[in-house]
């Protein structure tokens, strides 16, 4: 240990011993484990810790192992209850159980299993092994107080106890002692017994441990403690300061702790902690945090923490951490604001009031329980001890919500001055009886005197030009005072005559805020001759004499030992202990700075890093205390030579492939980890699990890991497992190390392995592949070359053949030239139309005689050219849409083409509808010399027209039917709307309206916008004198279904509140949920109704200005000038739910005049709209409330309605909307 640590721990001891020698205040941190926490058993008979630091517990279900995060169970045959456990110097764990004893061994894969030794006996004539002792190389199993079995050199044999028939056994040094009430004391030597003392022994001795060099300390079940002098062989009583209590508690076992204290576990009253003089210093029992008072086993682990095995689990007491705490089960209720020590009492101010705890006169070893001094004075924010002129002794002043109260040494309490929200009190250093007050409305100076045996405020000075909300006020030696406001500002008020306090000046320090944008001031302090502020950007100070010059500014103060970290390290709170050393809370945790040695202690207090420390207060004689919202922490004395514990991390389990192999390890540095295990390539997925047996906030442990050969740098995880998939072949070494809360990084554990190279990547196969590839490439090239040669030869032959054919064609062309001239006229005719068209084409001469038809004509009608020439009606068929005048016009008139439709018959008699285009051809003299008639088959078109006409008739018939049905639906809708309107009148008659709400609470507004005619949202109220109950309810769905549920809800609320007189909100919700589940027949089966309600309900007490709130999925907001409080609801509905049997909870809040309570359903926040069509959201509604809450209630209602319309725009309203605002007088 270096000099700085030694000095620091001596300082801690000085602080903790204190000036009045009082006992330790508060309890250490206690962690309980039972079946709910994953512990597979309850009753714990023994505890040991193996070399890795893992705990092994003897339980009624086997051996439980615990590494801080994970529990595992090693069963014993026949599910025997394990009654004793011991560990040898070599790390082997021996176990004694019901009709069984043996040890834990590792299987081939490393799995830890139980191996029986008692199976080697011919018969198991014993019921239970109550003690197991390991002495050198010999293990003794003590069975039934009647038999002893010895295990040595792999052999089990029974020890001959001679005439001892009933004994109790204990380990004394390196010997096993047997105590028999009739035959005295004996010891075991190997498998032999030797008597030491034949004198009678005290009855029912349950433990025997060393006391000093010559004496042993024995504990009996009912007769208390005894000392045994080994040399004189005499028994003598060892008296404690409370023998009756100890005797009635039934001591069961005991151990000496490393701090020299004696821990005794009892069967009735928990664990006693005594000093070696027999004084009881502490009792750990159920009231102080244990699971129960029946304790069976004790163990102090390698970190010097105490483990207590109990009837219902195991408790871990963190004796090694330098803190105790007061919180749960201490009697304190509400949020902790401040503490102080006066008149032999520890005072604690909370939002519920002033609590006190007698220290000097209290029983030191009983649980410290605070008492409320007075129920009427709430929100105790600060204390100040003041000397008052004329008073026989100093008086304690305490600031409460509306009063400044005085407390004398007899704890008499009186209100001496009315002031709202006094956050800070400070006495004047120049004048007795003068105090400075900082409140929500500014600063004041009071002069107080003791007149006629009463305290009286004789003078009050206010500062009309200073209305800031003050959070801290400090007086300087000159009589002036400094102020920190709630709005991030520093002021100084300076008097011309400090005694007169008439003329003054106010100075505001703005330069620091200008130079440090975003600065948030968290504390104001007076240290020696300088004013210091803690901020989110570090610590700043100014000397008092420089504070007189406004041009001087606060400068960064690096005299607190944190400059080497970062200049802008945020500091939330700061305090100076009686020795002048500093304590501070930062994002890096709790730090302490020893001024004399310039040493910053960072790691010793890391156990508190996860706690939200609100303030640090230095109290003489307790030293430094830390406040959270619910608890108070005190530094206490711990081992002066204590160093940070050595933390062990080891690979605990390796899984290779899906099911290839699994290995287990139970300690680091195992030889087989470095044998470089070879893993087949097809199993190249590997999972590493690792453990760090550490029990102080183990959830905060982080690990660094590295797979050498695969990763380039260390990685970090907060889970004790890392998986690698599809690793390439190669050699790897996995390394892992832990980072516990104290920052004491441990050496890494490692595991080496090799992933085999696949057969196709080995050198031999690669060479074979290259050779085969080369041969294949040569073969492909050769074949391709031969193919090219063959194709070249073939191409040459094709070219020769083409030349030959070209020459033949030339000769053929010459011979056919004459023939072409002869058929030229025919080709001219054929060129007019394509002979292959599907249309029927006919060429007529000027006299109407057919000269030519195409193949299409034959296909369409079936007639040949010769047959057509014999027919007279081939051109115009039946039902033709052409007149004789039209035909004459084609021949002799305008000679323009005409188009007409006609019905023709084919050769087979089939009727075909044809569209005929008749076009005349004129010569140069415009005389007709030919006509062309083209027929197109339009039969399908004609059939389609007929079908369309029929469909038109059918459509007109269907249209008439649809019109009739529409009229019927309109009539039904009107009838339904009439019914819903009637239901709306019924609902309005039952539901409370806004006027009705005004009769219960005066200053209210209601914004009620149902989505449909009837609504599933409603509000409800009940007047009970000065107590008012208000509820806003959102039933499942909207419209008619929601309205039906609303009627059910109103009926049940009336029954619960008005008939049964239930007023507490949480009870109302519990009963309402039961009645809704019952009435809707909800059982949790699939497919049944899941309808229910979300509800906010509050009880307003106008006498005590309080709001008691409970909610089911529906919160509320309480707005005031100083901020907003969210009234949180339980995350479960008024219906069947997976947590239906959990009770609803309620919270009480205190309001001031002008505060506004907003209660609402989710319809406003869930409305879609805006430019992006998104939901409005609850956080936006909360922001809008903040913008409008200082306006008149009627204006607020109009603004909320306008905000809804603007946001919704053209979109439809999606849900019912209900908002109720209540303004308190």
Helix (H), strand (E) at residue 859:
helix 855-861
Distance of CA 1061 to the CA centre of its chain: 39
Better-predicted residue by pLDDT, 590 or 187: 187
Among 355-364, 385-394, 989-998, the range with the most confident prediction by mean pLDDT is 385-394
Structure tokens, 191? 């498998």
First to last CA, the chain: 64
Mean pLDDT, residues 1073-1092 taken together: 81
Better-predicted residue by pLDDT, 1069 or 163: 1069
Better-predicted residue by pLDDT, 560 or 645: 560
Mean pLDDT, residues 1120-1126 taken together: 89
Position 833 pLDDT exceeds 50: no
Helix (H), strand (E) at residue 758:
none
Summarize pLDDT for 575-596 with one digit per residue, the tens. Answer: 888 888 888 888 877 888 888 8
pLDDT score recorded for residue 414:
93
971's CB contacts (< 8 A; 6+ apart) are none
How far is residue 669's CA from residue 735's CA, in Å, rounded to a whole number?
Answer: 12
Position 984 pLDDT exceeds 50: yes
**Under 8 Å between Cβ of 690 and 67:** no
What domains, with CATH codes, occur in the chain?
Answer: 38-164 (2.130.10.10), 381-509 (2.130.10.10), 650-761 (2.60.40.10), 835-937 (3.30.450.20), 992-1223 (3.60.40.10)
The CA-atom distances, in angstroms, between 1078 and each of 9, 608, 1070, 1092, 1139 are 64, 48, 12, 11, 16
The torsion angle over the Cα atoms of residues 598, 602, 604 and 606, rounded to 10 degrees, is: 160
Position 919 pLDDT exceeds 90: no
The position carrying tokens 């060892």 is 238
Residue in 1110, 976, 1133 with CA at minimum distance from that of residue 1031: 1110
pLDDT score recorded for residue 361:
59
Position 625 pLDDT exceeds 80: yes
Better-predicted residue by pLDDT, 511 or 459: 459
Question: What 8-state DSSP symbol labels residue 907?
Answer: T
Q: What is the pTM of this model?
A: 0.62
Position 745 pLDDT exceeds 80: no
Phi and psi for 212 in degrees, rounded to 5? Answer: -150, -165
Beta strands across the sheet bearing 1147-1150: 1017-1024, 1027-1035, 1093-1101, 1106-1112, 1147-1150
Give the rounded percent of residues in the chain with a pLDDT score beyond 70.
Answer: 88
Mean pLDDT, residues 222-243 taken together: 93
Summarize pLDDT for 862-915 with one digit per residue, the tens. Answer: 888 888 877 766 667 666 667 666 776 777 777 788 888 888 888 888 888 888
pLDDT score recorded for residue 970:
67
pLDDT score recorded for residue 394:
92
The position carrying tokens 């509800």 is 1095
Better-predicted residue by pLDDT, 550 or 993: 993
Q: Is the dihedral of CA 114, 115, 118, 123 positive or negative?
A: positive
Mean pLDDT, residues 665-673 taken together: 62
pLDDT score recorded for residue 1171:
87
Helix (H), strand (E), coil (C) string for 1012-1064: CCCCCEEEEEEEECCEEEEEEEEECCCHHHHHHHHHHHHHHHHHHHHHCCCCC
Position 1176 pLDDT exceeds 60: yes
Structure tokens, 174? 């390196």
Mean pLDDT, residues 658-682 taken together: 72
Distance of CA 412 to the CA centre of its chain: 46
The CA-atom distances, in angstroms, between 375 and each of 333, 354, 355 are 12, 8, 10
Summarize pLDDT for 673-722 with one digit per residue, the tens. Answer: 556 788 888 888 999 999 989 888 888 888 999 999 999 999 999 999 99
Mean pLDDT, residues 948-971 taken together: 74
Degrees to nearest 5, angle at CA 626 with 624 and 627: 145
Position 1123 pLDDT exceeds 80: yes
Summarize pLDDT for 1046-1080 with one digit per residue, the tens. Answer: 888 898 999 999 999 999 999 999 999 999 888 88
Position 21 pLDDT exceeds 60: no
Q: Is 8 helix (H, G, I), strand (E, B) or coil?
A: helix
In this prediction, residue 643 has a pLDDT band, given cuts at 50, 70 and 90, of low
Mean pLDDT, residues 121-132 taken together: 91
Position 9 pLDDT exceeds 50: no
Position 825 pLDDT exceeds 70: no
Summarize pLDDT for 464-518 with one digit per residue, the tens. Answer: 889 999 999 999 888 888 999 998 899 999 888 767 677 888 988 887 777 788 8
Q: Check whether the bond before 681 is cis (ω within 30° of 0).
A: no
How far is residue 1125's CA from residue 1147's CA, in Å, rounded to a whole number?
Answer: 12
Structure tokens, 993? 């309206």
């Amino acid at each position: 240990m270096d000099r700085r640590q030694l000095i620091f721990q001596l300082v801690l001891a000085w602080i903790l011993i204190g000036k009045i020698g009082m006992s330790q205040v508060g309890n250490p941190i206690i962690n309980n484990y039972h079946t709910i926490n994953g512990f597979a058993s309850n009753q714990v008979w023994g505890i040991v810790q193996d070399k890795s630091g893992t705990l092994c517990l003897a339980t009624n279900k086997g051996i439980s192992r615990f590494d801080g995060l994970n529990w595992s169970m090693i069963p014993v045959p026949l599910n025997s209850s394990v009654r004793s456990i011991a560990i040898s110097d070599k790390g082997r764990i021996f176990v004694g159980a019901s009709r069984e004893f043996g040890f834990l061994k590792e299987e081939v894969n490393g799995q830890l299993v139980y191996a029986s030794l008692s199976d080697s006996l011919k018969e198991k004539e014993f019921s239970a092994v109550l003690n197991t002792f390991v002495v050198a190389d010999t293990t003794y199993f003590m069975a039934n107080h009647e038999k002893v079995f010895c295990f040595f050199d792999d052999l089990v044999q029974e020890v001959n106890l001679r005439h001892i028939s009933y004994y109790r056994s204990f380990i004394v040094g390196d010997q096993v002692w047997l105590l028999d009430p009739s035959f005295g004391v004996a010891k075991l030597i190997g498998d032999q017994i030797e008597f030491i003392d034949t004198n009678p022994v005290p009855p029912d001795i349950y433990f025997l441990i060393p006391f000093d060099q010559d004496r042993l300390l024995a504990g009996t079940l009912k007769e208390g403690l005894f000392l045994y002098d080994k040399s004189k062989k005499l028994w003598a009583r060892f008296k404690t300061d409370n023998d009756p209590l100890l005797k009635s508690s039934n001591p069961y076992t005991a151990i000496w702790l490393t701090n020299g204290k004696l821990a005794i576990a009892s069967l009735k009253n928990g664990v006693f902690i005594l000093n070696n003089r027999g004084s009881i210093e502490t009792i750990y029992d159920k009231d102080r945090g244990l699971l129960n008072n029946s304790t069976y086993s004790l163990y102090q682990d390698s970190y010097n923490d105490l483990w207590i095995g109990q009837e219902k689990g195991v408790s871990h007491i963190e004796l090694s951490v330098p803190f105790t705490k007061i919180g749960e089960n201490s009697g304190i209720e509400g949020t902790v604001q401040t503490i102080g020590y006066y008149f032999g009492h520890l005072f604690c101010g909370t939002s519920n009031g002033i609590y006190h705890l007698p220290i000097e006169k209290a029983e030191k070893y009983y649980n410290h329980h605070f008492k409320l001094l007075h129920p009427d004075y709430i929100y105790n924010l600060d204390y100040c001890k003041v000397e008052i002129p004329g008073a026989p002794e100093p008086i304690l002043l305490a600031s409460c919500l509306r009063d400044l109260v005085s407390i004398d040494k007899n704890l008499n309490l009186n209100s001496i001055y009315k002031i709202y929200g006094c956050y800070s009190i400070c006495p004047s250093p120049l004048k007795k009886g003068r105090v400075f007050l900082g409140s929500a409305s500014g600063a004041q100076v009071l002069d107080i005197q003791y007149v006629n045996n009463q305290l009286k405020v004789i003078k009050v000075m206010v500062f009309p030009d200073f209305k800031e909300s003050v959070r801290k006020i400090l007086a300087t030696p000159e009589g002036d005072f400094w102020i920190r406001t709630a709005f991030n500002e520093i002021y100084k008020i300076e008097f011309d005559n400090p005694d007169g306090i008439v003329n003054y000046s106010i100075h505001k320090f703005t330069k620091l805020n200008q130079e440090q944008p975003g600065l948030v001031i968290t504390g104001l302090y007076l240290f020696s001759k300088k004013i210091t502020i803690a901020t989110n950007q570090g610590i700043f100070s100014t000397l008092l004499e420089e504070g007189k010059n406004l041009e001087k500014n606060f400068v960064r103060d690096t005299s607190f030992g944190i400059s080497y970290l970062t200049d802008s390290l945020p500091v939330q709170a700061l305090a100076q202990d009686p020795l002048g050393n500093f304590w501070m809370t930062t994002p890096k945790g709790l730090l302490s700075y020893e001024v004399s040695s310039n040493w910053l202690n960072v790691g010793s207090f890391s156990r508190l890093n996860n706690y939200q420390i609100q303030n640090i207060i230095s109290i003489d004689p307790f030293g430094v205390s830390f406040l959270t919202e619910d608890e108070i922490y005190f530094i206490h004395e711990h081992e002066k030579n204590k160093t940070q514990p050595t933390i062990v991390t080891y690979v605990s389990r390796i899984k290779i492939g899906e099911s290839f192999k699994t290995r287990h390890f139970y300690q680091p540095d195992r030889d087989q980890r470095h044998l470089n295990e070879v893993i087949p390539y097809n199993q190249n997925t590997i999972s590493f699990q690792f453990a760090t047996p550490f029990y102080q906030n183990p959830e905060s442990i982080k690990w660094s890991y590295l797979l050498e050969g695969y990763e380039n740098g260390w990685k970090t995880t907060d889970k004790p497992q890392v998986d690698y998939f599809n690793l390439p072949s190669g050699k790897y070494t996995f390394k892992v190390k832990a980072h516990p809360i104290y920052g004491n990084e441990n050496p890494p554990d490692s595991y080496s392995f090799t992933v085999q190279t696949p057969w196709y990547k080995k050198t031999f196969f690669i060479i074979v592949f290259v050779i085969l590839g080369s041969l294949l490439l040569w073969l492909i090239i050769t074949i391709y070359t031969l193919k090219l040669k063959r194709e070249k030869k073939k191409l040459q032959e094709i070219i020769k053949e083409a030349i030959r054919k070209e020459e033949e064609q030339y000769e053929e062309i010459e011979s056919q030239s004459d023939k072409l001239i002869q058929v030229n006229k025919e080709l001219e005719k054929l060129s007019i139309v394509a002979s292959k068209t599907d249309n029927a084409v006919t060429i007529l001469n000027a006299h109407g005689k057919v000269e030519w038809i195409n193949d299409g004509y034959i296909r369409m009608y079936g007639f040949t050219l010769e047959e057509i020439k014999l027919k007279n009606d081939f051109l115009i068929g039946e039902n033709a849409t052409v007149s004789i005048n039209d035909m004459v016009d084609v021949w002799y008139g305008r000679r323009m083409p005409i188009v007409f439709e006609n019905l023709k018959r084919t050769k087979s008699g089939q009727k075909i509808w044809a569209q005929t285009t008749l076009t005349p051809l004129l010569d140069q003299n415009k005389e007709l010399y030919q006509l062309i008639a083209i027929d197109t088959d339009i039969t399908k078109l004609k059939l389609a027209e007929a079908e369309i006409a029929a469909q038109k008739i059918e459509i007109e018939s269907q249209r008439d039917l649809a019109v009739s049905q529409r009229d019927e639906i309109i009539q039904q809708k009107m009838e339904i709307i009439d019914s819903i309107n009637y239901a709306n009148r019924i609902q309005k008659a039952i539901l409370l309206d806004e006027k009705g709400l005004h009769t219960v609470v005066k200053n209210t507004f209601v914004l009620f916008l149902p989505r449909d005619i009837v609504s599933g949202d409603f509000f409800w109220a009940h007047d009970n004198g000065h107590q008012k109950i208000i509820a806003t309810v959102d039933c499942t769905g909207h419209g008619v279904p929601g309205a039906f549920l609303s009627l059910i809800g109103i009926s049940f609320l009336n029954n619960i509140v008005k008939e049964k007189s239930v007023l507490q909100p949480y009870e109302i919700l519990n009963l309402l949920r039961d009645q809704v589940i019952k009435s809707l027949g909800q059982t949790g089966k699939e497919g049944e109704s899941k309808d229910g309600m979300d509800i906010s309900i509050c009880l307003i007490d106008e006498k005590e200005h309080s709001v008691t709130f409970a909610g089911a999925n529906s919160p509320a907001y309480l707005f005031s000038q100083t901020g907003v409080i969210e009234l949180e609801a339980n995350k479960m509905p008024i219906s069947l739910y997976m947590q239906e049997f959990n009770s609803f909870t309620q919270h009480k809040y205190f309001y001031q005049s002008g505060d506004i309570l907003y209660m609402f359903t989710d319809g406003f926040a869930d409305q879609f709209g805006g430019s992006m069509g998104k939901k409005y959201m609850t956080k936006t509604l909360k922001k809008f409330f903040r913008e409008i809450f200082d306006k008149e209630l009627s204006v607020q209602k109009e603004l909320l309605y306008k905000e809804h319309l603007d946001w919704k725009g053209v979109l439809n309203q999606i849900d019912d909307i209900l908002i109720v605002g209540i303004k308190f007088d």
